[in-house]
Structure 1
C-alpha cells in the first residue's frame, strides 16, 4: 500500500462517524453517560486522525487527484467544503468540550446543534475524498 496513513485516516473518519451517530442517539435517549463516552471517543479518534493527517502530508505533501476530468469537478466540490469545515472543527470541538466540562449544558447544546452536522459532514466527506483520490483511480 503506497499511502497507508491515508487509508488509516479514512478508517478513523469512518469510525468517528459511527461514534458521532452513537453520541447523538445516546443523548436523544437521555443517556448522558453513553453520550459522553461516544463523544469522547469521537474526539480521541479525531485527534489521532489529525496526527496521522499531519504525518501523511509531511511525508507525501499534497497528493494530486489523477481521476478523469469529469470526476475532478465533483472531487473538488467535495474537497473544498471538507477542508473549510474541518478547519472550523479545530475551534468548535474544543469549545464543545469546554462547555461540557464546565457543566454549561445549555451552551453546549446550542453549539452542538450546528457543530455536530459539520463534524458529520467532515467525517463522511473525508471517506469520500479518500475513495475518490486513493482507491478509484490509483
Structure 2
C-alpha cells in the first residue's frame, strides 16, 4: 500500500506539471499496486486469519479506534479511487480534476495509518494471537 501511495504522489506531481501521459501511467500503476495489496491482504486474512493486538491492554481501545479509522479511510479511498479512474476513462476530466486530489489525499492518509497499524501489530509490540475466521470454521467443521 505504501508503494501505491508513493507512486500516486508522484502521479499527482506530474499532473500538476501538466505531464498528462506520465500522470496517467503512474496513477494506473498506483491503482494496480493498491489492488494487488488489497487482494493479497484479503487472501491472507481468509487463509490465515486476523492478528489481534498484542500490545498493552491500556492501548487496546485506542488501537481499535485507530484501526477503525484506518478501515474507514481505506474504504473511502478505494471507492473514490474507482470513481476517479472511471471518470478519467470516460474522459470526464472536469469532475475527475475536482475529486482526484481528494482521492490522493485519502489514499496517502490511509497508507500512513495502515503503516502505523502494521507497526503496532508486528513491530512495536509482539503480535497477539491469530483469530481464526469463517474459512477456518468451515474447513474445521468438515473434518
TM-score > 0.5, shorter chain as reference: yes
| Structure 1 position 44 matched with structure 2 position 32 | yes
Structure 1 position 70, deviation (Å): 4.1
Given candidates 71, 76, 95, the residue that maps to 2:83 is 95
The answer to whether the 8 Å contact 2:77/2:103 transfers is yes
Task: Supply the distance in 2 between the matched residues of 1:92 and 1:35 (Cα, whole angstroms).
Answer: 17
Q: Deviations over 1:65-96 (max 9, x none)?
A: 01123443442343111101212234221111
Using a 3 Å threshold, how does the CA distance of structure 1 residues 112 and 83 change in structure 2: closer, same or farther? same
Task: Supply the distance in 2 between the matched residues of 1:121 and 1:71 (Cα, whole angstroms).
Answer: 21
> Secondary structure at the residue paired with 1:30?
coil
| Structure 1 position 123 matched with structure 2 position 111 | yes
Q: Deviations over 1:91-129 (max 9, x none)?
A: 221111111011111110112132211111111111111
| Structure 1 position 82 matched with structure 2 position 70 | yes
Task: Supply the distance in 1 between the matched residues of 2:12 and 2:66 (Cα, whole angstroms).
Answer: 24
Give ranges in structure 1 of 5+ residues lacking alignment: 1-12
Q: In the alignment, what sits opposite 1:24?
A: 12
Task: Supply the distance in 1 between the matched residues of 2:55 and 2:76 (Cα, whole angstroms).
Answer: 28
Structure 1 position 14, deviation (Å): 1.6
Structure 1 position 49, deviation (Å): 0.7
Task: Supply the distance in 1 between the matched residues of 2:50 and 2:73 (Cα, whole angstroms).
Answer: 18
TM (norm. structure 1) is 0.83
TM (norm. structure 2) is 0.80
The answer to whether the 8 Å contact 2:9/2:104 transfers is no
